[in-house]
Amino acid sequence: MEGLTIGYAQQDVEVTTNTKGDESTMYAKYAIGGITVGIQMSENDMASGTDYESTGFGVSYQVNDDLTVSYGAHEIEAVGSGNPDQETAAIGVSYTMGSIGLSGTFNSVDNVSNVNASDLQSYELGISFAF
């Protein structure tokens, strides 16, 4: 199917000695016209300790040759831990005028590292010049 990309990966991991686990991820991305939509799901199953599952998605729209807007969200669950899910969201805009590029993004993360009420927000503005 034209515009569709899918993928899967799996690996065995050992972060420190005798802490083995299995990681896997799968994704799908579809682009048609100026719209691109993607989703990714991942698991980290540890032999001992906390397992994690994550789901993320994003969508971008190229309004014209100069302007693009995007949105993405991501959630990480510490399975069976009783801790809250880490939830992330971001919105971005980029605009190009000849050799000058302007960009801006707003990011929000709730429950950083699955810790309740550990929230962060950030803004980023960028300008680039091509010579």
More confident residue, 63 or 117: 63
Helix and strand counts by DSSP (H, E) for the chain: 0, 8
Across residues 29-42, what is the average pLDDT? 97
Residue 117: pLDDT band (50, 70, 90) is: confident
Q: Are 59 and 68 in contact (CB under 8 A)?
A: no
Query: Model confidence over 8-35: pLDDT tens digits?
Result: 999 998 877 778 889 999 999 999 999 9
Q: Whole-model pTM? A: 0.84
Helix then strand then coil, % of the chain, to nearest 5: 0, 70, 25
Q: How far is residue 92's CA from residue 30's CA, in Å, rounded to a whole number?
A: 19
Q: How far is residue 91's CA from residue 124's CA, in Å, rounded to a whole number?
A: 11
